[in-house]
């Protein structure tokens, strides 16, 4: 069974979760991760994680696990690269940041067809009581010369040499912005410390506020 294993720390406790290709989930075919227990299969408690943040699924044709971003305003960071839209393949050892919550892929198991032993069928052997005579194989005589209408065989085309791969330097890590809480009433952005006291502008509770990523220059 195709399986990906995630590991993370939540409130100081180490947690591990296996994601299977056809495992049970709230959204068929994917495993969703975020802060909302009603919509997510893996629930995280960190305040910088969005209610519905990402989903992980197995691509049958490419035989790989992929991560898809579900929150453009709070994009995840996968192996040092920000994923605003679309999907990215996950590998053994990949590091994922949802806000300030870190998750690590500690194992990827994808059994291949070569792991199944091949069955070889042999033809029945002749009985020893009635051995069959072995007929000699007659080799054709080589041609002394080519006729006027015959042409020598065309030599096989030479395969072009494969150029060595080009190594590109790794891209510098993307500078991560600052996280804030968006008031559901006045739509203003407050610091995470305001979660317990409410919106400093209108006093509305920020328990249902949305975590947003604010650019470093703002």
Domain segments of the chain: what residues? 3-109, 178-214
Topology of domain 3-109 in CATH is Tumour Suppressor Smad4 (2.60.200)
CB–CB of 17/25 below 8 Å?
A: no
Kindly tell me the sign of the dihedral angle through the C-alpha atoms of 179, 181, 16, 58: negative
- Say how many C-beta atoms besides its own lie within 10 A of residue 45's C-beta: 9
| C-alpha–C-alpha distance, residues 192 and 152, integer Å | 82
CB–CB of 39/62 below 8 Å?
A: no
Listed in sequence order, the residues at least 6 apart from 132 whose beta carbon sits closer than 8 Å to its beta carbon are: 126
Instruction: Identify the residue whose tokens are 């085309």.
Output: 157
| pLDDT of the residue at 112 | 79
Helices and strands (DSSP H and E) totals, the chain: 0, 14
Predicted confidence pLDDT, tens digits, the chain (218 residues):
899 999 999 988 999 999 998 888 889 899 999 999 999 999 999 999 999 999 999 999 999 999 999 999 999 999 999 999 999 999 999 999 999 999 999 999 998 755 555 555 566 665 555 556 666 666 666 554 544 555 555 666 666 555 555 555 665 555 566 777 778 788 888 777 777 777 887 877 777 777 777 766 55
| pLDDT of the residue at 181 | 74
The beta strand positions in the chain, using DSSP E, are 3-10, 13-20, 30-34, 42-43, 54-59, 64-69, 77-78, 81-82, 87-89, 95-98, 101-109, 178-182, 189-190, 210-214
């Amino acid at each position: 069974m195709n399986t990906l294993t995630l590991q993370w720390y939540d409130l100081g406790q180490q947690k591990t979760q296996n994601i299977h290709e056809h495992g049970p989930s709230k959204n068929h075919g994917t495993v969703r991760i975020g802060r909302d227990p009603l919509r997510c299969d893996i629930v995280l408690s960190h305040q910088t994680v969005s209610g519905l943040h990402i989903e992980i699924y197995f691509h049958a044709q490419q035989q790989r696990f992929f991560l898809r971003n579900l929150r453009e305003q709070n994009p995840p960071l996968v192996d040092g690269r920000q994923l605003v839209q679309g999907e990215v393949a996950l590998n053994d050892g990949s590091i994922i940041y949802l806000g300030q919550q870190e998750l690590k892929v500690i194992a990827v198991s994808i059994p291949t067809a070569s792991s199944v032993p091949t069955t070889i069928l042999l033809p029945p052997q002749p009985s020893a009581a009635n051995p069959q005579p072995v007929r000699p194989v007659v080799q054709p005589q080589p041609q002394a010369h080519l006729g006027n209408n015959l042409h020598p065989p065309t030599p096989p085309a030479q395969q072009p040499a494969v150029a060595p791969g080009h190594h590109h330097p790794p891209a510098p890590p993307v500078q991560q912005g600052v996280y804030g809480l968006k008031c559901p009433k006045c739509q203003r952005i407050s610091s995470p410390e305001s979660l317990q006291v409410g919106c400093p502008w209108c006093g509305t509770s920020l328990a249902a506020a949305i975590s947003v990523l604010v650019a470093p220059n703002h």
